[in-house]
Structures are given as structure tokens and as C-alpha cells.
């Protein structure tokens, strides 16, 4: 009887010891994972280079007041403002010479950057809150992307679809725990980098894309794994993420903006698509953009 009791006590102690070892191993594993993620946060922060021109700022008023501009003029304007021919002509059509000059000032200015934390191990690089970078004249169907959003070491970025260029309204899927919603495009003006992209399709398709997005892509729960555990393109999606939402709206009408064709579409994939043109680049090297 005593021996049986002693054996039971030994078994109990042995079991408790094994459980303690397993528990400690789990804690060490979780701690290691969290440590790696935090190291990734530091790495991503230190590896990001906020680009600014190293060349001299020029007086571009004379070029902007010309009746006609040459290719060389547009190249100078691009280097001085980050606005391509599309961006320059779009603002000039609205008689917004001053805004072009403001965009030039912003490109050459040196603004302080800080990391804004909004989800576990997730940050975005933004200006200090007192700066709003002027943006090109937007059109319905334009796409805005930024490389500033990062999850640990992965600089994933963010993307949004312009659904009302005149009033600068966008639809975007912000992040975990949120649903896709309508916001103002000037939220991208706070980021330390952004690009305005214009798909090379007709106005009719863009109008269909915008109408479809407003009717079908609002209030969708954010799901980062779309394309991994679910089909990338489904007839009736229930979840999405920022780049997927924009890509899906165009793919619905036969336009594939994913440059890599991978399972997960990323903002960078759309920035490098041959089916888009750059309208404005800010915070990116104007030679390489988001390569």
C-alpha cells in the first residue's frame, strides 16, 4: 500500500516536472519569436531611407508659364517636383501653379520623421503631424501606394483606390481588426512616402471599377492571408486587405495590376505593374521608385 502510494507520488512529480519543462520551453519559444519580431522592427526602421534630392532646387516658374513644354521641360519638372507629365498637366489644367510650387518646396524640404505604432509590431513612418504634403490632381480610379507601413522586418506598404478624385475620397482596407471604409486621400499626405498611380485603361472601365468598389467592397473585414488560405480571386469575396482590395476591383473587369502574379498581391506589385503610370512620387528615389 505504502509502495503504491510512493509510486503514485513519484509519477505525479515526474509528470509535473515534464509539464514544467514543456511550459518553460513554450515560454522560451514565444519569447524568441517575439524577440525576432522586435529585432525586425528595429531593422526595418534603420533600413528605411527617406529620399530627398541631392541636386539644386531650380526656379521652375518660367517653364510652368510656357504655352507648350518640351520633353526636356517635363524632365526638369519631374526632377524638381516628383510630378510626371500627367501630374503637371493635371494641375495646370486646374490653374494650380502655386500647388506645383508647393509640391516642389515639399520635395526639397527636410521634415522630421517618426514611427507611428498602430498594431502589434506594426508601424508606419509619418511626418511629425505638422506637415501635409500636397498631392497631384486625382482622378477616379487612381491608386495611391506608400512603402511606409511595416510589419516587423517586412516593409509591406499600404494602398488605396480613389473613388472620387474631385473630392479626394478613397476606399481602403486599413489593417487587422478593421473593415474597409471610405476616407480622404490626404491621409497619405502624412506618410514619408507615397505614389499616385494611374491605370492605363479607359474612363469607362475606371467608372465601372469605382462603382463596383463602392457597391461591393465596403465593410469587408481585413484579412492579410487572402490568397494564401483562400483563392486570390473569388466571385464574391468576404474579406480583403489593402492591396488585394484595389487589385480585385480592377481584376473584376479584366485588368490584372499584379506585376508578380504571386499568391498575395502587394502595393509594390501594383507600383511596378506595366499597366499603370506614375502621376506623382514623393519620398522615393525618382530614378528607381519602388523597385
- List strand residue ranges (DSSP E) for the chain, in order: 113-119, 122-127, 143-146, 149-151, 158-164, 169-172, 181-184, 194-199, 276-282
Q: How far apart are CA 74 and CA 85, in angstroms?
A: 6
d(CA 133, CA 115): 17
Q: Which CATH superfamily is domain 114-282 in?
A: endopeptidase domain like (from Nostoc punctiforme) (3.90.1720.10)
273 or 7: which leads in pLDDT: 273
CB 110 within 8 A of CB 85: no
pTM to 2 decimal places: 0.84
Cβ atoms of 270 and 145 within 8 Å: the answer is: yes
| Residue 177: per-residue pLDDT | 84
DSSP structure string for 90-157: HHHTTT-HHHHHHHHHHHH----EEEEEEETTEEEEEE-SS-----PPP-TT-EEEES-EEETTB---
With contact defined as beta carbons under 8 Å apart, do 155 and 227 qualify?
no
- Measured between alpha carbons, how far is residue 192 from residues 49, 127, 162, 187, 241 in Å? 10, 6, 20, 11, 21
The segment with the largest mean pLDDT, out of 25-29, 84-88, 220-224, is 84-88
- Residues 222 and 175: their CA atoms lie apart, in Å, by 6
pLDDT digit string, tens, across residues 151-171: 654 568 899 999 999 999 999
Distances (CA, A) of 14 to 2, 22, 64, 257: 18, 12, 83, 59
What Cα–Cα distance (Å) separates residue 83 from each residue in 99, 147, 284, 290?
Answer: 11, 18, 12, 15
Query: What are 248-274's pLDDT values in tens digits?
Result: 999 999 999 999 998 899 999 999 999
Closest CA to 110 of 185, 57, 186: 57
Q: Cα separation of 149 and 192, whole Å?
A: 10
pLDDT value for 233: 85
Q: Are 241 and 159 in contact (CB under 8 A)?
A: no
To the nearest 10°, report the CA torsion of 91, 100, 170, 113.
170
3 state DSSP class of 22: helix
Nine cell digits for residue 70 = 518640351
Q: Up-side HSE of residue 94: CA atoms within 13 Å toward CB?
A: 14
Those residues with Cβ within 8 angstroms of residue 176's Cβ, 6 or more apart along the chain or in another chain = 119, 222, 224
Output the pLDDT for position 153: 47
Quick check: 197 pLDDT over 50?
yes
**Domains in the chain: boundaries:** 1-47, 114-282
Please report the pLDDT score of residue 48 as a whole number. 58
Measured CA to CA, the distance from residue 268 to residue 159 in angstroms comes to: 9
pLDDT digits (tens, 9 = 90+) for 67-91: 999 999 999 999 999 999 999 999 9
Tell me the three state secondary structure of residue 284. Answer: coil
Write phi, then psi, for 227 (nearest 5 degrees): 100, -20
Amino acid at each position: 500500500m505504502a509502495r503504491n502510494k510512493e509510486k503514485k507520488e513519484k509519477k505525479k512529480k515526474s509528470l509535473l516536472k515534464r509539464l514544467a519543462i514543456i511550459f518553460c520551453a513554450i515560454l522560451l519559444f514565444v519569447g524568441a519569436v517575439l524577440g525576432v519580431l522586435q529585432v525586425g522592427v528595429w531593422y526595418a526602421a534603420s533600413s528605411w531611407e527617406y529620399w530627398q534630392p541631392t541636386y539644386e532646387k531650380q526656379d521652375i516658374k518660367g517653364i510652368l508659364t510656357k504655352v507648350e513644354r518640351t520633353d526636356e521641360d517635363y524632365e526638369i519638372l519631374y526632377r524638381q517636383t516628383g510630378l510626371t507629365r500627367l501630374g503637371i498637366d493635371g494641375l495646370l489644367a486646374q490653374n494650380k501653379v502655386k500647388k506645383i510650387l508647393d509640391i516642389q518646396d515639399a520635395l526639397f524640404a527636410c521634415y522630421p520623421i517618426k514611427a507611428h505604432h498602430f498594431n502589434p509590431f506594426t508601424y508606419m513612418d509619418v511626418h511629425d503631424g505638422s506637415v501635409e504634403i500636397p498631392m497631384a490632381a486625382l482622378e477616379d480610379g487612381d491608386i495611391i501606394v506608400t512603402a511606409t507601413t511595416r510589419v516587423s522586418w517586412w516593409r509591406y506598404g499600404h494602398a488605396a483606390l480613389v473613388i472620387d478624385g474631385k473630392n479626394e475620397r478613397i476606399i481602403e482596407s486599413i489593417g487587422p481588426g478593421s473593415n474597409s471604409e471610405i476616407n480622404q486621400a490626404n491621409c497619405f499626405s502624412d506618410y514619408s512616402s507615397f505614389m499616385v498611380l494611374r491605370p492605363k485603361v479607359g474612363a469607362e472601365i475606371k467608372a465601372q471599377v469605382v462603382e463596383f468598389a463602392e457597391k461591393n467592397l465596403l465593410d469587408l473585414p481585413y484579412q492579410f492571408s487572402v490568397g494564401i488560405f483562400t483563392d486570390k480571386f473569388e466571385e464574391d469575396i468576404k474579406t480583403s486587405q489593402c492591396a488585394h482590395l484595389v487589385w480585385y476591383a480592377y481584376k473584376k473587369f479584366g485588368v490584372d495590376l499584379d506585376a508578380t502574379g504571386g499568391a498575395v498581391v502587394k502595393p509594390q506589385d501594383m507600383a511596378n505593374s506595366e499597366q499603370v503610370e506614375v502621376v506623382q512620387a514623393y519620398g522615393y528615389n525618382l530614378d528607381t521608385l519602388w523597385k
